Amino acid sequence: MRPVKSLKIGGYEVRYPVIQGGMGARISAGSLAGHVAKCGGIGLIAAAGIGMNSPFFTGKNYFEADSSALKAELEKAYQIAPEGVIGVNVMVALSDYEDLVKASIEAGAKLIVCGAGLPLTLPGLTRDAPEVALVPIVSSVRAAQLIAKKWDKTYNRLPDAVIVEDPDSAGGHLGEKLENIGNGDYDQYATVRGVKEFFLSEYDLHIPVIAAGGIWDRKDLMHALAAGADAVQMASRFVATVECDAAENFKQAYIDCKKEDIGLIMSPAGLPGRAIIKNKRQLFLYDEINRTVCATACLKKCTYKESRGRFCIVKALDRAQRGDVETGIVFCGTNAYKAERIVTVQEIFAELFAQEAVVEEAA
């Protein structure tokens, strides 16, 4: 049996090579991230929309509420897993990206994961906290090269790990053009190996390269490790859990959905996203009927903010997180339909690593 190795990112090490993916608008907040860390993985709190549905949000202080809520959720996660490795996912596309990176550091995040854009300035924002591990999300070798060369030249810093996200299977916002998704051209594990080879040949550096998208069970995990990944990122698998921060209706939407209910939708952020799309018509009609105004300016670029195009993403995410899955948007990966019941985070780890537990007991 091929043993599963621990995962070390920067100065932090966890027993199991699993990162729980960040899911915005309080789907992965303090509870989920804390319990994943407690079980021996890396837990991530998603910063996007974290202030919505928090006690800090008055309706008029979106950015202040975001930072305050993020700090509070990190504190909650560390109460669950005091010695755990807990980080934050901060989308580069967010208007308060820099403030959320700062809040993450102040609240003790051990790593910062960034996607939805290239985090070219991230090392500058974290200059005073060199102990915080920095992890960009990419979908191509070229993106990893651009980030590494910029960081090295400007900040004398390189990523502590890289997440390679498969746009053909991952949920939420995707770092690829809509027309390139699902056409059969993308090879995730060739990209994983290409990123590893780049850092080895260019910098003589071995850093963890993590596969994200479509990882559901032990078979998927072992396939990823055998194909060259050092670890996996799993998001959708952790939604239908007791500890997930979403409302029960959101979790039930995963259990109820069928494979054909999952598809692509263009986000007002200008990025395609994968979600449960059977309520697409209601999603688009909601803002038209209710004459929703952009009151938060949560994204740097947004078609709804600029021209009322598509829909208000943060309010759609917030409605779903609270349980309105009829008019809200439920982001998910391609395998979300495999959820059959609500389980605990511990049960998922037991399934993924039962063989390792047997080995440890025998030793």
Residue 9 dihedral angles phi and psi, to the nearest 5°: -125, 115
Residue position matching structure tokens 């090879």? 187
Residues 83 and 171 in one domain: yes
Q: Which of 262, 261, 273 is nearest to 316 (CA)?
A: 273
Whole-number Å distance between alpha carbons of 91 and 349 = 27
Is residue 34 in a domain?
Answer: yes
Residues 223 and 289 in one domain: no
Whole-number Å distance between alpha carbons of 204 and 199 = 6
Q: Which of 275, 254, 245 is nearest to 336 (CA)?
A: 254
Is residue 281 in a domain?
Answer: yes
CA distance to 56, 60, 67, 99, per residue, from 64 (Å) = 8, 9, 5, 9
Residues 190 and 259 in one domain: no
For residue 103, the domain's CATH number is: 3.20.20.70
Residues 183 and 326 in one domain: no
Instruction: Write out the chain's pLDDT in tens, 363 residues.
Output: 457 999 999 999 999 999 999 999 999 999 999 999 999 999 999 999 999 999 999 999 999 999 999 999 999 999 999 999 999 999 999 999 999 999 999 999 999 999 999 999 999 999 999 999 999 999 999 999 999 999 999 999 999 999 999 999 999 999 888 999 999 899 999 999 999 999 999 999 999 999 999 999 999 999 999 999 999 999 999 999 999 999 999 999 999 999 999 999 999 999 999 999 999 999 999 999 999 999 899 999 999 999 988 999 999 999 999 999 999 999 999 999 999 999 999 999 999 998 776 444 444
Residues 24 and 100 in one domain: yes
Res 194: pLDDT: 98
Res 354: pLDDT: 85
Those residues with Cβ within 8 angstroms of residue 83's Cβ, 6 or more apart along the chain or in another chain? none
Residues 30 and 164 in one domain: yes
Res 299: pLDDT: 92
Res 357: pLDDT: 61
Is residue 307 in a domain?
Answer: yes
Contact 164, 139 (CB under 8 A): yes
Res 3: pLDDT: 72
Residues 256 and 353 in one domain: no
- Element housing 274 (H / E): strand 272-276
Neighbour count for residue 13 (Cβ, 10 Å)? 11
Those residues with Cβ within 8 angstroms of residue 264's Cβ, 6 or more apart along the chain or in another chain? 178, 181, 182, 272, 273, 274, 275, 277
Residue 304 belongs to domain spanning: 251-331
Residues 68 and 165 in one domain: yes
Those residues with Cβ within 8 angstroms of residue 23's Cβ, 6 or more apart along the chain or in another chain? 46, 171, 172, 235, 239, 331
Is residue 3 in a domain?
Answer: no
Judged on CB neighbours under 10 Å (0-12, 13-18, 19+), 324 is: middle
Residue 275 dihedral angles phi and psi, to the nearest 5°: -155, 175
Whole-number Å distance between alpha carbons of 242 and 116 = 28
Res 359: pLDDT: 43
Residues 287 and 345 in one domain: no
Q: What single-letter DSSP state applies at residue 6? A: P
The number of folded domains in the chain is 2
Is residue 1 in a domain?
Answer: no
Amino acid at 188: Q
Is residue 158 in a domain?
Answer: yes
Residues 179 and 52 in one domain: yes
* Terminal CA-CA length for the chain: 15
Residues 167 and 278 in one domain: no
Q: Where are the beta strands (DSSP E) in 79-161?
A: 85-89, 111-114, 133-138
Whole-number Å distance between alpha carbons of 297 and 163 = 28
Give the distance between the most distant pair of CA atoms in the chain: 63
Res 356: pLDDT: 72
Is residue 346 in a domain?
Answer: yes
Residues 162 and 98 in one domain: yes
